[in-house]
């Protein structure tokens, strides 16, 4: 007699992994102030399995956690890659959202570039940002992210809530998408 699949699933899962990976996961969980189990469940539950397994996504999250630890609010992939429109030369665009207590300076980019890239074969293009108050005149990247971005990791749901608010602003007509010389951009509606 064959057992049904649901009756053999207990919700427990034992996994053997390298000490290096265990250490990195433990540090990431600590940076997000959650248990190792909760952190792993969140990472495994990310939308789009290809994003979870993609070396660019892993590299972006690992580098952001290493650089910002408990000051990291979240990491979101946006642009051509999550849309499925990336070419061989496309970079991997991310919004690296940090706590407002950290100023947005050029040194953030220098520190990012000082860390050797992981196993990704694409250029990681981080955009360091704070969560702005809406409506914001600098909404371009946020509007793109709200439309087709994928949250790779976040703390306390603040990033997801903000993206929902941006989508509501777009739906209400407060932000509009325009095109100049074939290049799209977002503007605050007049």
pLDDT at 50: 44
Burial zone of 190 (CB within 10 Å; 0-12 exposed, 13-18 middle, 19+ buried): exposed
**Whole-prediction pTM value?**
0.71
pLDDT at 52: 52
Q: Which two tokens stand for residue 93?
A: 């665009």
| Residue ranges of the chain with per-residue pLDDT less than 50 | 1, 48-50
DSSP state of 162: H
Strand, coil or helix: what is 126?
strand
CB contact at 8 A, 160 and 75 = no
10-34 residue pLDDT tens: 878 787 877 877 887 888 777 767 7
Q: Write down all domains in the chain, each with its CATH number in brackets.
A: 49-188 (3.30.460.10)
């Amino acid at each position: 007699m064959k057992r049904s699949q649901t009756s053999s699933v207990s919700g427990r899962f034992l996994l053997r992994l390298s000490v290096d990976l265990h250490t990195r996961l433990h540090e990431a969980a600590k940076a997000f102030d959650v248990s190792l189990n909760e952190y792993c469940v969140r990472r495994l539950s990310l939308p789009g399995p290809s994003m979870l397994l993609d070396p660019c996504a892993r590299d972006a999250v690992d580098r952001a956690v290493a650089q910002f630890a408990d000051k990291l609010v979240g990491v979101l992939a946006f642009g051509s890659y999550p849309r499925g429109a990336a070419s061989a030369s496309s970079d991997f665009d991310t919004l690296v959202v940090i706590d407002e207590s950290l100023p947005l300076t050029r040194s953030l980019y220098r520190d990012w570039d000082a860390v050797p890239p992981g196993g990704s074969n694409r250029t990681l293009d981080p955009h360091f940002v704070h969560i702005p108050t809406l409506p914001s005149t600098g909404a371009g990247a946020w509007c793109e992210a709200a439309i087709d971005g994928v949250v790779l990791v976040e703390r306390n749901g603040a990033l997801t809530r903000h993206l929902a608010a941006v989508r509501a602003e777009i739906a209400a007509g407060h932000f509009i998408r325009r095109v100049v010389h074939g290049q799209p951009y977002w503007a605050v509606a007049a």
